[in-house]
Amino acid sequence: MRSGEVLVDERAPLGGYEVLRTRDVDEARFRVGQTFADHRLTINAQPERFEARHHVVPLGSMALCYLDYGSEVWLTPGPIGDMVWVHLPLKGSVATYGHRERVLSTSATATIAQPDQPFAMHWQAGSPHLLVRFSAAELRQMLGRMVDADLKQTLRFALGQDLQTKRMSAWMDMVRLVCQQVDSGHDLLTHPLAVRNLEQLLTSSFLLGSEHSFTDLLNKPERSAPPRTLRFALEFLHAHLADPITVEEIAAAAGVGVRALQEAFRRHLDTTPSAYLRTLRLEHARQDLVAGCPGNTSVTDVALRWGFVHLGRFAAEYRKTFDEYPRDTLLRQ
């Protein structure tokens, strides 16, 4: 390679969305600053290798980016506004300095830039990055929905993030898959619904996998509904035995989420809401068959009355529960 020549990898991800390729430091600082934030950029060594390459793919309130400087540089950003940036080195290493903390970031460790948290980065030569931009507001809204709570504390991420945990590894697989789809020319980004679904999936998966101030709250088991709430659910069930009610409607009547309702039934009754409802209906059907008269009562009428529209399944479940078929109960009278 001749002196001053830069070895360029034409297979850099997101290459179809290139917004910058330059050897001019001032141009690089200005153009990259338009994506991230105003910052100071200084070449630390090997200026002959400097070539800034920047690719940007919008993804709703998010963005996927590629950034490489070629040479060894120092970056000192100013305020980044309402954004959270996840820095993912593809190779090489970057030292990131936060408040009384230093993280050496490699392909196994990400670093996070977030609002109101000053930081500086020392990029080694040959350390291209993928970057994922989140809206801080969107992260907070998604987190609130996930924990079903009105968040009062500030959402803070750890500066360094282990990418080798099971959840973060799965999140990285999603990021790579989106990049592959973009690079293959897939028209994924032309469909607003697909973009929104991807945005939500990447956001929720990142919140589940990363270390932040709400990690413990997010990962703790769903609380069981208290017995008082369970009584509300049971009262609603008994009042609507013959109606086509759903688990969601039972949970809403009890004032809890579906997961909390299911956990309450499991913990206190050792069953599920659906199974409990089905058992109640079978018991009422049996009472009607016992009290009925073969000439005036039909198994079909009784089954339909209690919400069993599939007669074969009703007969099978009835036999499994009472060790006889519905017609045997009726004819015994």
Mean pLDDT, consecutive 10-residue segments, the chain of 333 residues?
36 93 97 94 94 95 96 94 96 92 94 93 96 95 76 89 96 94 84 81 93 88 75 92 85 86 90 92 90 83 82 88 88 71
Max CA distance (Å), the chain: 103
Task: Let me know whether 112 and 201 are in one domain.
Answer: yes
Confidence at residue 223, expressed as pLDDT on a 0 to 100 scale: 64
Angle at Cα 56 formed by Cα 43 and Cα 12, nearest 5°? 70
Structural domain includes residue 6: no
Confidence at residue 196, expressed as pLDDT on a 0 to 100 scale: 83
Structural domain includes residue 235: yes
Task: Let me know whether 21 and 44 are in one domain.
Answer: yes
Task: Let me know whether 50 and 127 are in one domain.
Answer: yes
Assess contact for 96 and 214: CB atoms under 8 A.
no
Q: What is the C-alpha separation between 236 and 251, in angstroms, rounded?
A: 10
Task: Let me know whether 40 and 158 are in one domain.
Answer: yes
Structural domain includes residue 197: yes
Three-state DSSP at 293 gives: coil
CATH number at residue 138: 2.60.120.10
Range of the domain at 95: 15-218
Three-state DSSP at 263 gives: helix
Confidence at residue 179, expressed as pLDDT on a 0 to 100 scale: 93
Confidence at residue 222, expressed as pLDDT on a 0 to 100 scale: 65
Q: Which of 218, 246, 262 is the last residue of a domain?
A: 218
Confidence at residue 149, expressed as pLDDT on a 0 to 100 scale: 65
Task: Let me know whether 209 and 242 are in one domain.
Answer: no
Task: Let me know whether 235 and 211 are in one domain.
Answer: no
Task: Let me know whether 130 and 196 are in one domain.
Answer: yes
Three-state DSSP at 46 gives: coil
Task: Let me know whether 212 and 236 are in one domain.
Answer: no
Confidence at residue 4, expressed as pLDDT on a 0 to 100 scale: 35
Q: What is the C-alpha separation between 183 and 17, in angstroms, rounded?
A: 9
Task: Let me know whether 152 and 259 are in one domain.
Answer: no
Structural domain includes residue 4: no
Structural domain includes residue 307: yes
Confidence at residue 258, expressed as pLDDT on a 0 to 100 scale: 84
Q: Which of 218, 236, 271 is the last residue of a domain?
A: 218
Task: Let me know whether 280 and 301 are in one domain.
Answer: yes
Q: Which letter does DSSP use for residue 256 in this model?
A: S
Tally the domains of the chain: 2
Task: Let me know whether 164 and 237 are in one domain.
Answer: no
Region of 270 (left: φ > 0; alpha: ψ -120 to 50; beta: rest) is left
3-class DSSP string for 193-233:
HHHHHHHHHHHHHHHHHCCECCHHHHHCCCCCCCHHHHHHH
Three-state DSSP at 154 gives: coil
Task: Let me know whether 202 and 255 are in one domain.
Answer: no
Confidence at residue 150, expressed as pLDDT on a 0 to 100 scale: 67
CATH number at residue 310: 1.10.10.60
Confidence at residue 1, expressed as pLDDT on a 0 to 100 scale: 33
The residue among 118, 65, 64, 125 whose CA lies nearest residue 93 is 125
Structural domain includes residue 71: yes
Q: Which of 195, 218, 241 is the last residue of a domain?
A: 218
Structural domain includes residue 8: no
Structural domain includes residue 54: yes
